[in-house]
Each structure stands twice: as C-alpha cells, then as structure tokens.
Structure 1
Amino acid sequence: MEFSRYFLFFFASLGAFNGVLLAIWIYHKRQAITGAPWLSLLLLMLSVRIGKSVAFYFSPGLSKDILQLGLSACCLIGPSLFSFCFRAQSPDKYRVVLPWHFAAWVFMVALIGYFYPYHSHLELWQSWIYRGSSYVWLGYLLAASWVCRDKLVALWSTPSRLAWRDMPLVVLGGGWLIWLAYYTAAYTSYIMGALSFSMVLYLSVVVYSGAGKAKVKYAAQRISDQQSHELSAKLTHLLDEERLFTDPDLSLPRLARRLGVSHTKLSQFLNQHYGCNFNQYLNRYRVEYAQGLLCQQQNLTMDHVAELCGFNASSTFYTAFKKYSGQTPSQFRASNTAKLSS
C-alpha cells in the first residue's frame, strides 16, 4: 500500500473512530444538548456506515455480514437525522412518537436481514437495499430541511440573524454533504463518502471549539471602573426600561451604536464583567422575560412567547430557556401552575 493509500485509510478510518467517541461524549452531555440521544445515534449509524465503506474499499473481500451491517446502518441514518432535527426544533412535540418511528425502522431492517441475509441474497442487498437506503436517506434529509425551513430562510435572507454555529443546521448541512458524496461516488470515488464524513466531523469540531477563544480575546485589556459604571447604567436602561432585547434584529453593532461605543468595546465589556458574549447576555434577558410571560399569561402559545421575547426561532428559544432555567418552557409553566394551585 503506497503512501497515498495509507493516508486515505488513516484519515477515513479515523473519522469513523472519532465519530463513535463523539457520539459517546454527546450522549454523556445529553442534559445540556436538546436531542442529544438522537444526535449520538446519528453519529453512531454514520460511523458504522463509514467504517464499512473504508473496510470494503481497502479489502473488497470483506465478510458479507459486515457489509450487511453497514447497509443496515445506512437505512437508519435518515430516520435518526430527522428525529434529531425535529427534536431540536420542537422539543415538546411527539416525544413518544419519534422513538416508535425509529423502532419501526429498526424492526423492519432486522426482519429483512434475518430472513434475507446478504450472503444468500446478493442482488437484493447490492441493488435494491443499497439504492433504497440512499433514497430513504434523501427523503429524510428533505423532511428535516422542511422542519428547519424557518432557520434556513432566515439564514438565506440575513445570515447575521442566525447563529452560524446552530447545531441542527450544522448537522443538516453535514448530512447533505455526506449524502452527496456517496450519491456521486460513481463519478468520483467510493471512498469520498468516508472522507467527507471525516471532513465534516473535524470542521464541526473546529467551529465549536472556536467559542473558547472568545474568553481570552480581551484578557490583556481592561475597562476602567468609571467606564464600566457608565456602560452598565446605559445598558440597564436600554434593556430594562426600553426592553430593547425584544427586537429580534438586535445585534452587537446596533446595541453598541445606541450606547455610543464601538462594538469591540461592548463585546470586551460583556466578556470582562459578565463572563459571556453578546448572544448569551441577550438570551438571559429574553429567558427572564419569557418566564414572566409564562407565569402571567397562560393563554400564550410557546411560539408566541418566543416571538414576544425576540427569538427568531422556537428551537433557539427552547434551547436558551432550558440552558438558563434547567427546564423546558412547558415544564416551567406546569411547575409554576402547580405552585399557584397548591
């Protein structure tokens, strides 16, 4: 095996291995990530599928049982991806239906594998199931894109409105890239699917790890106590009195202009005195306001509350609310109602 093939094998197989480790880590952090079990399951199915591809590419005489396992996992990629996107977008909807939906797919794949194993039904697996799993994956990608349509439209029209590190969009975009790599493999190379998974995985890690750099960006700079006092007073007035945080288009530069400072200075101030970035600071205000609305106005829907608080998407509202209160909005309203009635 020449150097280029060694490199391909290392990069592709390492992506599958790291995918399993990342799936375990995400499941361990399931309390902090909405839909984490589904994301873990998606990464696990992708890793099995990618692992099979790498093994088959470098060892065409691979056992038919391993090939069957890889294609079976491929059939489950679409359902797990859709379940994660749906769960992240609508945390309180169809909580029971999604597991049963996925279980039905597992049962069907297991049933076909038991009665029609790969080694004795080559035509079925190499043609129908191989192609069918790809189209099932495509169908669920389209369904997941529809579920995330509000975020996609907002991202397309005004990219600055949406957090560019939004997890459902990263997962959805990665799913599309990997599917396209496999679908076009006939014109490129079969190993492209595995390589694309590794690339998407590592790029996602780089994107999310970039958050840590903001914490030390202004470590060597300080704002005087007088400047801090003045900024704090102005900021409190704008957010507490004018409720500027309810504006869904509020951005760091816009708020900085209202305060009469540069956006760099405002970002430094928030980092230095509140230990958070602009979005985190803003979401705290919005969540506190949402808690008041949920307690005082029982007739408001969750989507309406999210809109009144300035959130662009319901999924962002749910994620922020759970992060800062430890409960979903529905759980918070239910517990508050129980306290009032007792």
Structure 2
Amino acid sequence: MAIFDQLLLLFSGLGGIHGLLLATYLFLREPGKWSNRFLSGVILMLSLRVLKSVLFYFNPAIGKQILQVGLSACFLIGPLLYCYSLQFLGIFRDSSLHRLHLIIPGILVIVIGALFPYHAYPQLWGGLFYKIINYVWLAYTLLSIYMLWPKISNLDLKNWRTQIDLVIVLSIVFGSGLIWCAYYFASYTSYISGALTFTFLISLGVLTVFLHKNQKDRVISPYANKKISNKIAEPLIAELEQFMITQQAFLDANLVMPKLAKMLGWSTPKLSQLLNDNLDQSFNDFVNSYRIEHAKTQLQGDTAMKMEDLAERSGFNSLSTFYSAFKKHTQLTPAKYKTLQASKNSGIINS
C-alpha cells in the first residue's frame, strides 16, 4: 500500500475514534439540551460509517453485519442533521410532526434490517439500498440548508464571532455535504471520506472548545444567575412590551435574542433572565405570541388572505412554523380560526 493511502487510512481510523469521543462528550455535556444530543448523533453516525470502512479495509471478509451497521448509520445522518438544524432555529419542539423525521428512519432501519439482512441480500444493499441511503442523506442536507438560508443570508462575515453558534451549525451542515460528495464521487471513498471526516471532526472539536471558552470569557452580567426583582422587572417588562407594540420588531422573521437586546440597548443575559424567570417564557414563545396576535388582527380584517401571505406578514419564515405556533397559542388551527371569524363577520352583517 502506498504511503499516501496509508496516511489516508490512518486519518480514517483517527477520525472514527475521535468522533466517538466527541459524540460522547457532546451527549453528556449539559444534559437535556437536544441540540447537543442531535449533534452527538450526527457525529456518532459519521464515526460508525468511517470505522466500518477502516475495518473492512483491514479485513475484507468482515461480517456483513458490520457493513449493514455502516450503511444504516449513513441513513440516519441526514435526519439527525435536519433535526439539529430545526433545534438551532428553535422550531423542533413547535410540532410533534418533526419527531417523525427521527421515528420513521429509525423504524425503517430496524424493520428493513431485520427483513432484508445484508448477509442474505448483499446485492440489494449494494445496489438499491445504497442509492436510497445516499439520496436520503443528500435530501436532508439540502433541506437543512434551505431551512437555515434566512440565517445564512443575514450572516455578517465581519462580525462572525458574535454568531459563533450559527458558524458551528453551518460548519456541520456543509461539512456533512462535503463528506457526502466524497463518498458519492471519489474513487477512494473509504480513505478520502475518512480523512475528510477526521478533519471535519477535529475542526468541530476546536470550534466547540472555542465556543465554550468564549462563553466563559464573556463579562458576567449583573443579572446572571439570579432573578430580577419584581420592583426592577415591572418597568423593564413595560418597556419591552411597549417596544414590541410600537416598533413591531416581531415582524422580522430573523429576529433573535441578541438582536432584540441590542435594539433595546440591553445585554442579552438581561433580556434572557427577564423572559425566562420573570415572564416564564422562552424567547420564541414570547415573540410568537405577538406574531400570532398580529396574524389574528390581520384575519379579522381580511379572512380571504392566503395563509402563506399571512404567515410571511406576521414574521414567520415558514408556513409549518406558523401553523404550529398558531395552534399552540390559540388551541385552534389558522383555518378554524379563519372560519370562526368569517362566521362572526357574517353574523354582524346579517344583524
């Protein structure tokens, strides 16, 4: 084996081992944060895939079960990546339908794997299944880019350090796409993709450490780790609500907490503490409550408005997010609310 191939193989093995360690670290770090869990899952699946390639190189007669595990891992990379992107955007929990992107692929891996094991159907796994797995991975990667596009288009490259979370997410999504391209187009897929995975995981590890250090080095706000007293909170809440009503900042589909805090002239921890502890609301729920009230007002004036236009005019960047937020805040679907309003309006006219 040529030295170049040996080095690539070495990087493949190191990438897989490093990935397992990084996945474990992220899974255990800040338990309860689903963003960490999804990212851990993406890295774990990539690691299993590349370790399968390394094991297969050293032992071509390796059990077919190992090959099946590697391809099954590839099938789950895309759904985990997409859910990670949704979690970053704050919309994963807005609808239980998003969970189907994990549940259905997981069930398929178990059921198809049991009904058509690799050792009994090697041609099926090497042909049709291999194509489906790669196209599912690609489709979810492109879907993740589509969902993140509003954030990507508004990324300030000069001040990217203030958006380090977004930079990490984009690195993961585009890194996944690059590895997919290597698997799909390169002739030495096992080696090159393994080396790329190693580079990707090392870079991600460095970014994670950088983010963790960056958070530690920030100046601690006087509001951090303690609830703002009611006496201080009341005028702040009044100022916040007045600002939301008069400036209608909620109509900005790309509104994020640091941006709103900057508009108010507050620190981000101050705004976060006020919302979480004093108003007992998440940032998304707080902003969406104003968006839904705005949408209801729009519907009362024009029940013929299309839902796509209504969602966009109310500050939502997707129709699905609008539907789930509307139902969460009103216990009604937009269509049902629209029907009720039309009925009321008709009653007023008839009377």
Give the alignment's TM-score, normalised by structure 1: 0.63
In the alignment, what sits opposite 2:26?
26
In the alignment, what sits opposite 2:237?
292
In the alignment, what sits opposite 2:116?
116
Aligned with 1:311 (options 220, 239, 259): 259
Whether the 8 Å CA contact 2:9–2:195 is kept in 1: the answer is no
Give the direction of change, closer, same or farther, for the CA distance of 1:6–1:172 in structure 2 (3 Å limit).
same
Whether the 8 Å CA contact 1:293–1:305 is kept in 2: the answer is no
Answering whether residue 99 of structure 2 is matched by residue 99 of structure 1, we say yes
Give the direction of change, closer, same or farther, for the CA distance of 1:33–1:309 in structure 2 (3 Å limit).
closer
In the alignment, what sits opposite 2:177?
176
Aligned with 2:158 (options 141, 157, 160): 160
Superposition pairs of residues 268-279 of structure 1, within 5 angstroms: 276=218
Cα offset, 1:82, TM superposition? 0.5
Whether the 8 Å CA contact 2:90–2:284 is kept in 1: the answer is no
CA distance in 1, matches of 2:58, 2:203: 25
Answering whether residue 310 of structure 2 is matched by residue 329 of structure 1, we say no
Cα offset, 1:133, TM superposition? 0.7
In the alignment, what sits opposite 2:265?
none
Cα offset, 1:124, TM superposition? 0.6
Amino acid at match of 1:276: R
Whether the 8 Å CA contact 1:76–1:105 is kept in 2: the answer is yes
Cα offset, 1:84, TM superposition? 0.5
Whether the 8 Å CA contact 2:65–2:119 is kept in 1: the answer is yes
SS at 1:307 equivalent: coil
Cα offset, 1:303, TM superposition? 6.5
CA distance in 2, matches of 1:309, 1:205: 26
Give the direction of change, closer, same or farther, for the CA distance of 1:92–1:293 in structure 2 (3 Å limit).
farther
In the alignment, what sits opposite 2:307?
none
Whether the 8 Å CA contact 1:165–1:208 is kept in 2: the answer is no
Answering whether residue 97 of structure 2 is matched by residue 85 of structure 1, we say no
In the alignment, what sits opposite 1:71?
71
Amino acid at match of 1:329: F
Whether the 8 Å CA contact 1:302–1:329 is kept in 2: the answer is no
CA distance in 1, matches of 2:194, 2:251: 39
Whether the 8 Å CA contact 2:50–2:193 is kept in 1: the answer is yes
SS at 1:119 equivalent: coil
Give the direction of change, closer, same or farther, for the CA distance of 1:182–1:152 in structure 2 (3 Å limit).
same
Deviations 1:143-173 (A, max 9, x none): 0001100122123xx4225425532212112
Cα offset, 1:61, TM superposition? 1.8
Cα offset, 1:204, TM superposition? 2.0
Cα offset, 1:6, TM superposition? 4.8
CA distance in 2, matches of 1:15, 1:294: 51
Cα offset, 1:191, TM superposition? 1.4
Amino acid at match of 1:89: L
Whether the 8 Å CA contact 1:52–1:66 is kept in 2: the answer is yes
Whether the 8 Å CA contact 2:39–2:81 is kept in 1: the answer is yes
Deviations 1:89-112 (A, max 9, x none): 124644533333311111112111
Whether the 8 Å CA contact 2:22–2:205 is kept in 1: the answer is no
Whether the 8 Å CA contact 1:14–1:198 is kept in 2: the answer is yes
Deviations 1:171-194 (A, max 9, x none): 1121111111111223x4431111
SS at 1:120 equivalent: coil
CA distance in 2, matches of 1:27, 1:8: 28
In the alignment, what sits opposite 1:228?
none
Superposition pairs of residues 118-137 of structure 1, within 5 angstroms: 118-137=118-137
CA distance in 2, matches of 1:99, 1:113: 21
Number of aligned pairs? 261
CA distance in 1, matches of 2:251, 2:106: 33
Give the direction of change, closer, same or farther, for the CA distance of 1:153–1:304 in structure 2 (3 Å limit).
closer
SS at 1:311 equivalent: helix
SS at 1:9 equivalent: helix
Whether the 8 Å CA contact 2:42–2:81 is kept in 1: the answer is yes
In the alignment, what sits opposite 1:35?
35
Cα offset, 1:47, TM superposition? 1.2
CA distance in 2, matches of 1:38, 1:308: 21
What are the ranges of 5 or more consecutive residues in structure 1 without an aligned counterpart?
216-270, 335-342
Q: Which stretch of the first structure deviates more once superposed, 112-121 or 324-333? A: 324-333
Give the direction of change, closer, same or farther, for the CA distance of 1:310–1:30 in structure 2 (3 Å limit).
closer
CA distance in 2, matches of 1:308, 1:205: 25
Cα offset, 1:292, TM superposition? 3.3
Give the direction of change, closer, same or farther, for the CA distance of 1:111–1:305 in structure 2 (3 Å limit).
closer
Give the direction of change, closer, same or farther, for the CA distance of 1:209–1:39 in structure 2 (3 Å limit).
closer
Whether the 8 Å CA contact 2:5–2:191 is kept in 1: the answer is no
Structure 1 vs Structure 2 CA RMSD: 4.0
